[in-house]
Amino acid sequence: MLQAIIRKCLVGAICFSILAPSTLPFNYTKAATTQDFITNEAETGDNANSFRYQNGEPTKSPSVFSLKSASTQSNAWTKINGSFVNSNLEPIEGATQKGIDVSHHQGEIDWQKVSKTDVDYAIIRCGYGQDLTSQDDKYWKTNADACTKYNIPFGTYLYSYATTVEKAIGEAKHVLRLIEGYDLQYPIYYDLEDVSLQNLSKATLGKIAAAFCETIENAGYEAAIYANTDWFTNRLTDPVFNNWDRWVAQYNAICKYTGFYNMWQCTSTGKVSGINGNVDLNFVIGNEPVAQVSKVTLDTNAISLLPKESKTLTPSISPKNAYNKSVSWSSSDSSVATVKNGTVTAVAPGNAIITATSKDGTQKKASCTITVQADTNESNIGPSNSNPNNSSGTDSTASNTSPDATAPKAVASFSYKADSTSSIELSWKKVPEADGYTLYRPNGKAIKTLSKSTTSYTVRKNYGESGTTLKAGTTYTFMIAPYKTANNKKIYGKKVTLKATTKPKNTTLKTVVKSTSAKTKLTWSKTSSATGYVIYYSTKKSSGYKALKTISSNKTTSYITASLKKGKTYYIKLATYRKLNNKTIYGGYSNIKSIKR
């Protein structure tokens, strides 16, 4: 009977982490003052009270937390025969990585020693409450710098005291200030456990969590929630919590939480070389990274090169704290262009697609169209070449020049990026001998004459092919020619032509409904500026989306799938795309709708 009571208390109160709250201003580079953000009043101190803290100090391992969760075996929570084991030396089902979470309570840590243990990662407390430097964890920077130095992947958490949405936003900004400049590889966890929150309604707790997590996600990072089994089971039950991964605390030989989670805090009495005293131990559950890649983008969508020229593509990974940010590179035709570590080298005239693919298993891709042009550069002397768009040779700004005048070489690496539905950024490699450049529409009218130091230009309103605003999902042709000035006259080099497109408009997801007991029907609005649509689905609203189906015609506005499993909640969204020269240009995402199968 007594054991049953103790176990019930354990399940109801056994989960916590060494966290503490924080917040930050609208300018992430400095801590807020009371004038910056009205909710940034100081807390009453680092006085955490929860299932494992009393007045800011860790509890002294009361008997209610003992049971068989204590590390009574010397090799408890280690790897034996290739599997992590618990305090009973039984394999932990699904455990793939071992981690620790730390705060100022651990004091000075010898991270070099830690790096030589079986610890795979660390979750470091950055602070507590509102965005005041006095509420930063005093060991945050020391710990984060050391993990960076010794190549220990890490994430962070903040201990929350927020009782309003406004304070939750402040706490998120506290985190964003402190993580600036660090390469996180694990989520930013919101620690919800303090007794000051326990009288809030479930809906209010959901709004507070959403305010924090959405602020973090809008800054490009993945957010997640930390709590114990009791809180996840009885307090954090608003449907909004299904949007984020869960870090569950239960100090026991096994985790008995029945909901979804991908990290388990199993004990507060772990031992790790380099740390004096006890430390919390954690295990990642499952083979997928805790922070998965959701999107890969490249810094340009298309490049024009001459043979033997090179250009380096730069990939960007979302979220910023993805565990594995590396990509692999491939060329659709290595006889036209090769790629190594992102550097593209033109081989021979033709077209090739260079693709960057995430290596974390999500297979997220981004590609760039490479056009290799024949090198036909020649010296252009005299009136017939003074303007690349004047075949008659008459040009008011470039009449005949002396015989020793030499035209500049043609522009290389003429490329573009579809910035939006109404703008295109053009870029090119500087021609050293040129005094400037002129951009043209195909009809021969100049768009802009640019200085010799300029190597990019964004075409926006009033610079379309007919002088009007660029339209969504529309192909435009641009030409560029460099020029030299001699005897107050311009001598133009060969023109280079580039076709580019704006992004298509987004579509609107109208309905997601059960069409039969096993099938789901989606409907959406037609987007004429798109070539087609890509349907994405996930079991989490804010991350983890995978392509379900590519729709190749913009006239198709519905789809029926049998791929969604019963008993799960799915989130659906669509992206529009447009094809040009074997290159796919994506628009933005539609609204998101959910369905429980």
Return the sign of the alpha-carbon dihedral for residues 138, 139, 140, 145.
positive
**Nearest-angstrom CA–CA distance, 332 and 315:** 18
* pLDDT for the residue 57: 78
* pLDDT for the residue 401: 35
Domains parsed from the chain with CATH numbers: 2-285 (3.20.20.80), 383-501 (2.60.40.10), 504-597 (2.60.40.10)
3-class secondary-structure state, position 147: helix
Strands (E) in 275-411, as ranges, are 279-285, 295-298, 302-305, 310-312, 315-318, 327-331, 337-340, 343-346, 350-358, 365-372
Peptide bond into 319 cis (omega under 30): yes
**Nearest-angstrom CA–CA distance, 22 and 42:** 10
**Nearest-angstrom CA–CA distance, 204 and 223:** 18
* pLDDT for the residue 518: 82
* pLDDT for the residue 349: 87
Tokens representing 247 are 């870090």
From the list 331, 263, 308, the residue with the least C-alpha distance to 429 is: 308
* pLDDT for the residue 50: 74
**Nearest-angstrom CA–CA distance, 293 and 471:** 31
**Nearest-angstrom CA–CA distance, 125 and 103:** 5
Dihedral-angle region of residue 176 (phi above 0 means left; psi in -120 to 50 means alpha; beta otherwise): alpha
From the list 360, 292, 352, the residue with the least C-alpha distance to 545 is: 292
Tokens representing 185 are 């590889």
SS3 track for 411-445: CEEEEEEECCCCCEEEEEECCCCCCEEEEECCCCC
* pLDDT for the residue 26: 34
pLDDT in tens, the chain (597 residues): 333 333 333 333 333 333 333 333 333 334 443 333 334 566 666 777 777 777 777 876 533 333 444 445 778 999 999 999 999 999 999 999 999 999 999 999 999 999 999 999 999 999 999 999 999 999 999 999 999 999 999 999 999 999 999 999 999 999 999 999 999 999 999 999 999 999 999 999 999 999 999 999 999 999 999 999 999 999 999 999 999 999 999 999 999 999 989 999 999 999 999 999 999 999 999 877 789 999 999 999 999 999 999 999 999 999 999 999 999 999 999 999 999 999 999 998 889 999 999 999 889 999 999 999 876 543 333 323 333 333 222 232 333 333 335 889 999 999 999 989 999 999 999 999 999 999 988 777 888 899 999 999 999 865 544 557 889 999 988 999 999 998 888 899 999 999 999 999 999 999 999 888 888 999 999 999 999 999 999 999 988 899 999 999 999 999 999 888 888 999 999 999 999 987 889 999 999 999 998
SS3 track for 578-590: EEECCEEEEEEEC
Residue 341 in contact with residue 329, Cβ under 8 Å? Answer: yes
What is the Cβ-side half-sphere exposure of residue 47, based on CA atoms within 13 angstroms?
A: 7
Distance of CA 218 to the CA centre of its chain: 10
From the list 17, 77, 64, the residue with the least C-alpha distance to 231 is: 17
Alpha-carbon separation of residue 250 from 16, 84, 87, 281 (angstroms): 8, 17, 13, 11
For residues 104-113, one letter each, b for 16 or more C-beta atoms within 10 angstroms of the residue's C-beta and e for the rest, the string is bbbeebebee
**Nearest-angstrom CA–CA distance, 112 and 152:** 10
**Nearest-angstrom CA–CA distance, 177 and 519:** 46
Dihedral-angle region of residue 160 (phi above 0 means left; psi in -120 to 50 means alpha; beta otherwise): beta
**Nearest-angstrom CA–CA distance, 281 and 70:** 11
* pLDDT for the residue 389: 35
**Nearest-angstrom CA–CA distance, 185 and 222:** 10
From the list 110, 178, 190, the residue with the least C-alpha distance to 138 is: 178
Q: Which residues have a Cβ under 8 Å from the Cβ of 331 and sit 6 or more positions away?
A: 337, 338, 339, 344, 352, 353, 354, 355, 370
* pLDDT for the residue 172: 97
